[in-house]
Chain A
Amino acid sequence: MNRTHLLPMTLLAALLLPAAARGADSAAQVAWELSPYRVEVLIAIDSRAGLSRGETAELLDQLTSRAENVAGGGWKLTVRPAPASLRSALLADLAALPAEALPAASLSGDKVLVVGVKPALAGIAVQVREYDATARAWNGLRTREVGQPENLPQVVLDALFAAFGPQGRIETVEGNTATVRLRAGALGRRDGALPLLADGVVFRPLLVTSDASGAAAGPPQAIPWTYLVPTGVRGSLVTCRIESGLAGPPLPEFHPSQLRLALASQGGQGSTKLKLVSQGTGAPLAGYEVVALPGTGETKPQPLGRSDRQGIVAIPSGTEGVRIVVLRQGDEILARVPIAPGLASELTLPLPDASQRLAVETALAEIADGLVDLAARREALAARVRIAVAKSDVEPALKLVQQLRDLPAADPWLTRLDQAQPLLAAVDAASRKRLEGRIADLRQLAETLIADKPVERLEAELKAASAGK
């Protein structure tokens, strides 16, 4: 017995349970798993692609029947030509198509899949992009090419399924793990080879206010810089690792009037431009180092370069759908964010203004150099004094002791540390904590050097040595 047959039997068992035992949640869960997607495909075909009117009609028919054959009850599909108002935009630049251009009627469903068919260098190019009406978000662009026109229906169909991003409902959140239940997951698909989730798919979490029946009833609120990365699939339940650049827990607790949804997404081809800007002024931040942490099959972090004068650095796709990107400035790690390359053409990340932190770091580095050099000078001179005494070179030893006396005191460095302390007020909290630790270390070193009396220490050593003789 294959899984396609198992699922309805499980559901049947659930339906046979007493209503009280199932509770409202179970009912909602069942409804979710049994709700098919209302999918509308809008297709525009460039006349230069060489399809006759008959072939076009044949394509639309074949798409409907083949899609139903594959998706089974999971899709309620409508395929129709794109309206004239949309047609040229669809064929010109699908990636730039705004949601507002879609017909209002199409948005009453769950998914709109827009398809552009146009001539290519070696045949016909097919471009498909999905718009999720609940999440009000576009998915990545899928592109296919076909040499033989008779293969076009199958190629368009492949592109449609590749572009399609299932919806999920976040069921549980425990630590860094979330479980997501897929919509229509309990409805049998006729093509058992079609996976519930394609490789490289990640979920974008979003929150939607729900009505009394549990249906979405408000605008979606995307949770920024957060992705759910699938790690395992069991039935319609997907276990995910939570990757987030947010400081606190990224996913809120369950609330009966709020849907925690997850939209499966897959980056398109290419990369995402990450633009770094100052939190305060919005000015571009240049010269920030960007490194991708190792993904599957990688052993070392991969440097991606530095942000240019416009604050931009390109994030190319890696071995997984999401890349964890670390932003550094010198030794300071400023942010760690997940990015699904290709999903968005450009992302803007505001970062704390570094100028005050840099000023404090520069001042502390100077103070550290001064203190370390002073300590080193003392120890070097003391060593030379001991050597001179060991060789009975009394005169040189006395001169060296005098040089030791003449070394500058450590007190001015302590004063400079006191002057640096108030500058921390303008530094961001994370850096402030680190710099306060640095100041404490330097203060301790300065106080050690102030308390240490090298000349007296040396004289005592020499006395002890001569008494021993």
Chain B
Amino acid sequence: MIRSAPVRDALFAVGGLVLLAALPLVFPGKAFSDFVIRLSAFAVYATSLNLLIGYGGMVSFGHGLFYGLGAYSFALLMQKAGASIPVAFASTILINGAVAAVIGAICIRLKEIYFSFLTLAFQMLLHSLIIAWTAVTGGDQGLTGGVPRPPFLGIRLDEPRHLYLFCCAVLVASLFVMRHLMQSPFGYTLRMIRDNPRRAAFLGIHVWRIRLLAFVVAGIFGGVGGMLISLFVSSAYPDFAYWTVSGEGVFMILLGGMGVFLGPLAGAAILLLLNDLVTRFTEHYSLVLGIVILLFALGLRKGVLGLVTDLWARRVAATKGGSSAATPAA
């Protein structure tokens, strides 16, 4: 049993990365590696949203803004400014952080429902800006001309194998950093604010500041997800900033279970599989997705991983002779 949580998480991360790197040996097809790359983008994005919803209790319905912003900033920096990949990556993180700070400062003082709606409204502002500003963004056609992938540090992202490994590494590193943040005093303060903001304020915590920090962190990692997808499709489309991205993010979290750190990852995988499966049979994906969402919302509420950990906790409790079925705390 390893006592130190950061060391354990780091071991998990290394193990996960090795596993992901080895998987193409078992599944050599392009379909598989493409799936993992798309999953890496959505998983980072969904996990970042869970920092707000699951850990912070701030139900953002406009998180897709950062996904779209990340994709467009990165693609534009690469295409128009000719930046190198690390520079574009770092600049996009700065842009996303700054935008998140401004929007967060406006939104986070508000009551729950206002917060959801206002974040959504800001996302639609970005979407309409992308559509309207044709000269820069290419309007509703999306960015044309492709995103160049110049080599850096010996990494050649135009090679599928390198791209795959790069996306896996970014996924694992992002998850590790977010996990570490959530296990830090900052993460526990955030949970405390979620559970009882007034009490947190009485204890001398700057509720507003912690929430804003969480909003900025989530905005940055939402942007990382967007960067990965724009690197993969070698473009950026207005759909990346459309409100449905936010809806999907919320659903991924709920699907996987927001009480578990890796829940959003599982939810992203399930939703992507569902998408690939359904679009093979019908073009009415949203109809099917809508029905699945309704079934879920009115039935299974804790998410798939939540259900698994619940059953697990019950088993553990049963073998220990305890009678209370423990629910996992986030």
Note whether A and B form a binding pair.
no
**Which positions in B face A, CB cutoff 8 Å?**
none
